[in-house]
Chains A and B, each alone.
Chain A
């Protein structure tokens, strides 16, 4: 954590400890803020899960319930100390989330939020029907927290516990997002293909985030149970789940502090409506839900991105503090020049009746630049996707570094040293250029979620970011490193992709039209970079429409037309090949 953030956290912690005892906060407010804090924990998890990870969950309240009921049952039925029940409550919540999540994270599109509604409701009815959980009446007589002999019965004492938990959660989530796993989470939402191509285990990473968010909800449940002193199914239904989601969305999904703002706004609004409306209407009743729903709809119409961006402006890409130069990352050894590296044999790919790639075979040797050319629709990009594992071969064989990679996942192929760029620049617009490039080094680090949360990943993270910076310097984009990637010109985005691919420490780089959108000078620099890679022993397979560019750098060309290979050889020979001329000029030239 940068020094400044440490100070902020420390000062916040002090304020929290002192505030309820200054007499500035009436007990009513202390109670309200206890509930706000408990809700904030859930909403912070949702910011991570929904706002950053793109998985909308309506079911978080069920995880709050798992935490609350576990501690409730353990303390009431077995007289266990709440502090001992805490790890068990978290374990039960975590295990439940692991089981539910393993299924949920594999749901695509709007099936995922709908799935969360389904298990949210199922768990709610489960709580309400299990007799040892008190069925519809729930459990009462849950003990308060005690520190030594001192029971935390007063709201303001509990306030400290709740808000210290909130601050810890904020720090943990910020740490997580600043690390290798966080980068993967942010990337996989916007561009799953790119995340996979750089070795991110998509389902696994999503599951980690899912369980983490559930644990925050479980912690909230534990705090709730010992504050409320009783649990009943009511607050753990889907309506509550929607309210938590609402807090995250109203605050500004994707902004960690927005979750606290949202929790405050929603809790406060509902509380005030409960007080004011019966007076206004002149009769007791549950009018708040009517106004609450209407306010919600109009808030979404007025501010679909939430309150936080309105109050505090658009997100800034994380500024990374200056670091001491760190030791360079280890390099992969490259094969001897001329040794066989990639061998595509009789590759076929059909889409229904359309044969996109038809019996294509070619090879790439170590330290060689091969150009893959052909008219539009010739099957070049499909061939790329087959090599990278993004699409599966119908038949044929692809051998990379002496092992078959046909049928392997993009992650495994990336781990063997294959980097790629995409035809349509596939970078995360709201991440900084440097972070986008650092995603390429994902497989060269190993710090997981826990190390990131505890901030034990800093040395490794420093090495990854230094490597990313080095590769950015190579493509000439170092000055743009801290800009949001979405602000770059199209040509620069392609260079970001090249730098990202180089971050993988590849032995073979697949580049899909890297020169498109580049200016003359930039093209010359790119050609220079490709030659430099070749002299380092790295091979390049290049799709390119700019013939001057590809002729000037490629050692060899492979020409595709309508999915078939029609020519192969040295650039000069291919250029004069009549079949190639036919394919490009429609036969008129012959």
Chain B
């Protein structure tokens, strides 16, 4: 392997790794706050890319209708779940968020879609359509299971994944989509060509990670989420509503998922089920980070991305076998370390 190939593989790995990092951060966030392993994170990714593709074609993306339908479901679920403590303000909020907002977004999309407003606007619209789905899904599927075991939550997450992936197939069909890159320029550095899109991916990821660090370090909501993550009962006792924390974490996850889908769209063809595979690799990274640490997770994501690009160079057929086998020794190491930790604490 010469230096050019090596650098090329590293570049490729870093780009993939950046996309995994966004998804992995979302997985860690949701898991620590709600104990849900967010399998449907992959669908946010697919939906993100495919919504942009629909907008580029000047079509109304079906995800807008999905948002309206989910909003109705979520409103119904919220009214049932809160039937004993309903207030005028509560009902207004539920109606505004679950019914009015989706309707407005759908109307806006309906009006803007045929105008083909360009890449940046398409991306904004796609993310705006997908973010509210996060809290809605939490409300419909996971809030009633808030006290269930991690296993039950995990199976429920797979249920949501099945439904959304099936809808993705119905909406977008079995063909893959590729979307327009954000930056079309490309240049050469160190002997290898670097596309504008790869710079955009890495920059966007870095920017989002910084925003996240500030959000969790400096804002009250961010700190409240961290409190929920480290001790749910304690957070409840000091008055942090854990249900709302769950919704916020799902919203952030949907946002990160949509963004990573939008970023991945111009690089690889996205199919209705591609998100699941991206999500799984992000998941490998999240596990390597112990499902707790954000910086470790980002590092691990880059590691997974680079490992994947080298595996695909060496043994392209067995790339996936290698990536997923990689996780086992790490899990074992984590398991063996854990009892020791418990003793020291």
Q: Which of A276-317 contact B (CB under 8 A)?
A: 285-297, 300-301, 304
Q: Which of B164-183 contact A (CB under 8 A)?
A: 164-167, 169-170
A287 to B166, CA, bound (A): 6
A352 to B342, CA, bound (A): 11
**A549 close to chain B: CB less than 8 A:** no
**Chain B nearest CB, measured from A344 CB (Å):** 20
Pair A119/B169 contact, Cβ less than 8 Å: no
Q: Which of B127-153 contact A (CB under 8 A)?
A: 140-141, 144-145, 148, 150-152
Q: Which of B276-314 contact A (CB under 8 A)?
A: 280, 283-284, 287, 291
Identify B155's interface contact among A114, A245, A290, A291, CB under 8 A: A245
In this complex, the interface size class of chain B, counting residues with CB under 8 Å from chain A, is 35 or more
Pair A111/B334 contact, Cβ less than 8 Å: yes
Known: A242-B155, A300-B148, A300-B156. Contact between A292 and B327, CB under 8 A? no
Which residues from B are CB-within-8-Å of A296?
A: 155-156, 158-159, 162
A249 to B156, CA, bound (A): 11
- Stretch of A122-130, A146-154, A212-220, A463-471 on the interface side: A122-130
**B239 close to chain A: CB less than 8 A:** no
Which residues from B are CB-within-8-Å of A108?
A: 335, 338-339
Pair A111/B335 contact, Cβ less than 8 Å: yes
Pair B167/A129 contact, Cβ less than 8 Å: no
**B321 close to chain A: CB less than 8 A:** yes
Pair A289/B163 contact, Cβ less than 8 Å: yes
Considering the complex, give the chain A residue whose CB is closest to the CB of B290: A111
Q: Which of B309-336 contact A (CB under 8 A)?
A: 317-318, 320-321, 324-325, 327-328, 331-332, 334-336
**A28 close to chain B: CB less than 8 A:** no
**Chain A nearest CB, measured from B290 CB (Å):** 9
Pair B159/A107 contact, Cβ less than 8 Å: no
A245 to B158, CA, bound (A): 11
Which residues from A are CB-within-8-Å of B166?
A: 286-290, 292-293
A110 to B155, CA, bound (A): 13
**A77 close to chain B: CB less than 8 A:** no
Which residues from B are CB-within-8-Å of A121?
A: 280, 320, 324
Which residues from B are CB-within-8-Å of A294?
A: 159, 163
**Chain B nearest CB, measured from A303 CB (Å):** 11
Identify A118's interface contact among B144, B318, B328, B335, CB under 8 A: B328
Pair A119/B328 contact, Cβ less than 8 Å: yes
Which residues from A are CB-within-8-Å of B37?
A: 110, 114
Identify B151's interface contact among A56, A122, A125, A293, CB under 8 A: A56
Which residues from B are CB-within-8-Å of A103?
A: 328, 332
**Chain B nearest CB, measured from A559 CB (Å):** 26
Identify A119's interface contact among B318, B324, B343, CB under 8 A: B324
**Chain A nearest CB, measured from B30 CB (Å):** 14
Pair A297/B141 contact, Cβ less than 8 Å: yes
Identify A292's interface contact among B144, B162, B169, B335, CB under 8 A: B162
Which residues from A are CB-within-8-Å of B344?
A: 351-352
**A113 close to chain B: CB less than 8 A:** yes
A245 to B148, CA, bound (A): 17
Considering the complex, give the chain A residue whose CB is closest to the CB of B320: A125
**B202 close to chain A: CB less than 8 A:** no
Pair A110/B150 contact, Cβ less than 8 Å: yes
* Count of chain A residues with a beta carbon within 8 Å of a chain B beta carbon: 43
Which residues from B are CB-within-8-Å of A72?
A: none
A111 to B331, CA, bound (A): 6
**Chain B nearest CB, measured from A47 CB (Å):** 14
Pair B170/A297 contact, Cβ less than 8 Å: no
Pair B318/A129 contact, Cβ less than 8 Å: yes
**A109 close to chain B: CB less than 8 A:** yes
**B160 close to chain A: CB less than 8 A:** yes
Give A89-114 as 1s and 0s: 1 = Cβ < 8 Å from B's Cβ atoms: 00000000000000100111111011
**A82 close to chain B: CB less than 8 A:** no
**Chain A nearest CB, measured from B96 CB (Å):** 25
A379 to B296, CA, bound (A): 37
Considering the complex, give the chain B residue whose CB is closest to the CB of A56: B151
Considering the complex, give the chain B residue whose CB is closest to the CB of A127: B321
**Chain B nearest CB, measured from A252 CB (Å):** 13
Considering the complex, give the chain B residue whose CB is closest to the CB of A297: B159
A126 to B319, CA, bound (A): 10
Which residues from A are CB-within-8-Å of B163?
A: 289-294, 297
Pair B331/A297 contact, Cβ less than 8 Å: no
Give B227-266 as 1s and 0s: 1 = Cβ < 8 Å from A's Cβ atoms: 0000000000000000000000000000000000000000
**A246 close to chain B: CB less than 8 A:** yes
**A179 close to chain B: CB less than 8 A:** no
Q: Which of A136-179 contact B (CB under 8 A)?
A: none
- What is the interface of chain A, defined by CB distance below 8 A to chain B? 56, 103, 106-111, 113-115, 117-119, 121-122, 125-126, 129, 239, 242, 245-246, 249, 285-297, 300-301, 304, 351-352, 391
Q: Could you show 27 A-B contacts with beta carbons less than 8 Å apart?
A: A106-B332, A106-B335, A107-B332, A109-B338, A110-B37, A111-B287, A111-B334, A113-B151, A114-B327, A114-B331, A115-B327, A115-B328, A118-B284, A126-B318, A129-B318, A285-B170, A286-B166, A289-B165, A289-B166, A290-B167, A291-B163, A293-B159, A296-B155, A296-B156, A304-B152, A351-B343, A352-B344
13 more contacts with CB within 8 A, not counting A114-B283, A290-B167, A294-B159, are: A56-B151, A114-B331, A115-B328, A125-B320, A125-B324, A246-B155, A249-B152, A285-B170, A286-B166, A289-B166, A290-B163, A296-B159, A300-B148
